[in-house]
Chain A
Amino acid sequence: MDNIKSDTRSYLSFKLGNEIFATDVKSTIKILQLPEITKVPESPKKMAGLINHHGNVLPVYDLNKSMDLKDNCYDKNTCVIILSNDNYNNIGLIVNDVLSVEEVKAEDIKPPPQIGENTKLENIAGIFQKNDNFIMILDVNDIFKQIKSEY
């Protein structure tokens, strides 16, 4: 957002269910192959569990559940991406498939449409088009805030 020289930003795109989403690479610190996830009893439904990430314990969330997308089974393409935020501890997100890094010009990013179909729009920062697909940019801050506020 403070990229002054060129107005291009980089986003990591991935699949959640059948939709394509993206996160700002600045807040995406790592992509992991699906590690062993320890389930936590009595935890919220969208929390998949905890993982051991280099000796640190990170909570992992499954947005398929929180965004009311169709529940997909984990397969060999399933990954965990680790997101960071200045105000909160890191979290992991389960994604069905990681696609690529997209360079997008600022002016190509459109505000989210007024009527969403599958997802609560408060988590979407914007939308851009690539080939025939629309890619929704996840608002990472918003996700952190939402997760945090639900306890």
Chain B
Amino acid sequence: MEDFRQLFFEECKELISQLEDNLMQMEESPEDKELINSVFRIMHSLKGSGAMFGYTNLSGFTHKLESLYDDIRNSKIELSPEIISFTIDITDHIKKLLEDKDNPELVVKSKEYEDEIDRRFLLPKEEIIEKPDEKQRNTGKEPLSKDKASNNKLFYIEFAPNEDILNDGTKPLYLLDELSDLGDCIFSTNCSALPMLSELDYEKCYLSWKIIISTAENEDMIKDVFIFVEDDSKLVIKLLSDEDVFQVEGVKLKLQNILDEGLQGFKGLKRLTSIYKEELPSTAQKNVTIDKTNKEEAAIEENFTAKTKDSQPKKDQQIARNTFAIDSIRISSSKLDELINLVSEFVTNQARLYNLSGKINTPEINELSEDFNNLARQFRDIAFDMRLIPIQTIVIKFKRLVRDLSKKLNKKVVFVAQGTETELDKNIIATISDPIMHIIRNSLDHGIESPDKRLKANKEETGTIELKAKNSGAFVLISISDDGAGIDIKAIEKKAIEKKLIPEKHELDENNLLNLIMHPGFTTNDTVTDISGRGVGMDVVKKNIESLRGEVEISSTKGKGTTITIKLPLTLSIIDGLLTSINGGFYILPLSSIVKIYNIGKSDFENSYKNIITIAGTQYSFVNLCDIFKNEKENETIFNLLLVSYKNTKVGIIVNEIVSEYQAVLKPIDNISRNNDIFSGASILGNGRLAMVIDPHKLISNFGN
């Protein structure tokens, strides 16, 4: 039961974020039919699953909204900005409702919303639709099915839920109720499975149903009704007739009898309906009316391309849908975490095997070990790929923030996002969301000026906040820029001196001064933030990003705007590394940061001036790890220089031997180094020994000159 509820919540959350995204886009391009369709579908799903889990409030107004958007996509109602912003309000309401469905205030509010839709948007239309002939009274509230009465089809449905369906919290009657929303139904309940009263288990569902429905919807829509239960239940949906033979007098009653008596199977029913078809008011005339249907309806028809005319394509479609169902599955993230742990163990053990095979050195084992190595690599890549999710998932939140906050602040701001398909590890995404939110809030609050100020400064009235994401090697760069007032570096300098953060006579360049705003002692001062045009808490942003092994950089031009760039590693726990030895100990450097490796001699660097080495005609400054990681054993004769890209230049790192390429499973270590964290973790080697994983950037910034 709880599992299902959880599933429902997750599904709703996903739907809502999709909905928000659609609505934001809709504000920009109200013409986009696909968006309207999508909103319609979301409302439909929310309504359906809401009703199933007893969120009747939810299904009330989502149903109204569904109708509204149905009318919009049929061009009966024009999509107005009011409708969009109303829907956005409702989205918030749904969120609240999901958390606390029985809150009386929310219940009342739901009712109000429901009425409001009727009053403001729907009502006039409803009156027009009230006219059509008798039959439509039964079809219920769906304007679509009413309007297209002549296009109704008959479907035959057999629904036999799993005995335990009630334990899962599903109420079959809700499903049938929802089904009857789609069109006129004949229900026949099969009670033959009911045991004697003494043996009856009241927690089990013994009933099954046979249903004939007359609907304008296609098979997919019917299937949607059963979407949550179809896995566990016996469900048959077949097209019974292309024509709506319910219109023939007395047929409904006859079909009901046939169903109840269970004398005829599907084939018999099909034969019967084809007989009644003849009695329909002139099929020929009907075809004409279909031809006459206007363009809009043709467009809808196109949307329902899945509509089936005969059984053959239907079969194909069935197969197609089945494969689709397997295409994507929902997995709880704890299982993924577990998988990653196992993969890490696997990779570590593989290294042991590799080590062993080197010792035993028989061709068979060597081959096996190499195969395992390849497998482990693929295994690892796929496992990590599973945890990658596109940045898009959090961008919606930012759009929303910009929209709401800019209205509140009376500023005109557009939010542009680029490269949102860039993927990052799930855990990283979860952690960066808040810092980015904070940066954007700062931009809105302090960066972007009010419209009249902007006009005075010869800028466009509307400010822009831009989020760009892109891959760069093993990193992802996310930059957030605004075209606002920028940061006043002079003011920062003044304040920093005042607060004694820097001496009066300092040699800091502009960049360093800018980065002072991320200093904890600096940003907590409110008056500064007003002058500098940045908000509080940049130190927290920095700390959060650095906990992910990321970096933050600020650049700003006064009057032109500010850009904050966040650099993040793709994933947190396994890196492709280069295993090296330094004075007998093992160290791993991330392969992604290494540009080139040179074999060098001791004389090449021993007496160099200011740690500068000349290689192939170019001078590089270097960090000699053999010197820094000194220990008693110091008779190494082999030296290698790893060329690492650092900021805009290349810096050398001197190590002893290069052992091999190595997939390092990063094990966290508490900050063991006193004043710096040049190690991002430790990794267990195949022989059980440990190797420290070096963060070359930290190393260079700490020891470089």
A binding-site residues for B, Cβ under 8 Å: 36, 38-44, 47, 50-52, 55-57, 59, 88-89, 148, 150-151
Contacts and interface: CB of A to CB of B under 8 A. Distances in A.
A43 B671 CA distance: 9
B628 A42 contact: yes
Q: Determine which residue in B631, B669, B670 has the highest number of CB atoms from chain A within 10 A of its CB, and name it.
A: B670
B674 A42 contact: yes
Given A39-B585, A41-B628, A59 B672 contact: yes
Interface string B663-703: 00001111111111011011010001111100000000000
A40 to B, nearest CB: 6
Given A41-B629, A43-B674, A55-B345, A36 B689 contact: yes
Nearest to B683: A57
Contacts of B684: 52, 55, 57
B667 A42 contact: no
B348 interface: yes
A56 B667 contact: yes
10 contacts: A38-B691, A39-B631, A40-B679, A41-B629, A42-B678, A43-B673, A55-B684, A59-B669, A59-B672, A151-B671
Contacts of B348: 55
Nearest to A45: B674
Contacts of A52: 684, 688-690
Given A40-B679, A42-B678, A52-B690, A57 B671 contact: no
A57 B674 contact: no
Contact of A50 (B669, B674, B678): B669
Interface in B621-646: 628-631
Given A50-B682, A57-B690, A44 B674 contact: yes
Contact of B669 (A57, A88, A150): A57
Contacts of A41: 585, 628-631, 692
Nearest to B630: A41
A151 B689 contact: no
Contacts of B585: 38-39, 41
Nearest to A49: B690
Contacts of B679: 40
A94 B674 CA distance: 20
A84 to B, nearest CB: 14
B670 A59 contact: yes
Nearest to A151: B671
Contact of B676 (A36, A42, A47): A42
A77 to B, nearest CB: 23
A39 B676 CA distance: 16
Contact of B672 (A47, A51, A56, A88): A47
A52 B669 CA distance: 11
Q: Determine which residue in A43, A47, A51, A57 has the highest number of CB atoms from chain B within 10 A of its CB, and name it.
A: A57
B693 to A, nearest CB: 10
Nearest to B671: A151
Nearest to B681: A57
Contacts of A148: 670
Interface string B347-364: 010000000000000000
A38 B628 contact: no
A151 B671 CA distance: 7
Contacts of B675: 151
Contacts of A50: 669, 672, 682, 690, 692
Given A43-B674, A57-B681, A59-B670, 10 more contacts: A38-B689, A39-B631, A41-B585, A41-B630, A42-B628, A52-B688, A55-B348, A55-B667, A55-B684, A59-B669
A59 B667 CA distance: 12
A51 B669 CA distance: 11
A42 B690 contact: no
A36 B630 CA distance: 19
Contacts of B682: 38, 50, 57
A89 to B, nearest CB: 6
A43 B629 CA distance: 10
Nearest to A41: B629
Given A52-B684, A57-B684, A40 B345 contact: no
A72 B678 CA distance: 30
- Counting from the closest, the 9 A-B pairs by CB-CB distance are A41-B629, A38-B690, A57-B667, A57-B682, A42-B673, A43-B672, A151-B671, A44-B674, A52-B684
Nearest to B677: A151
Contacts of A56: 667
Nearest to B669: A57
A53 to B, nearest CB: 10
A41 B699 CA distance: 12
B692 A40 contact: yes
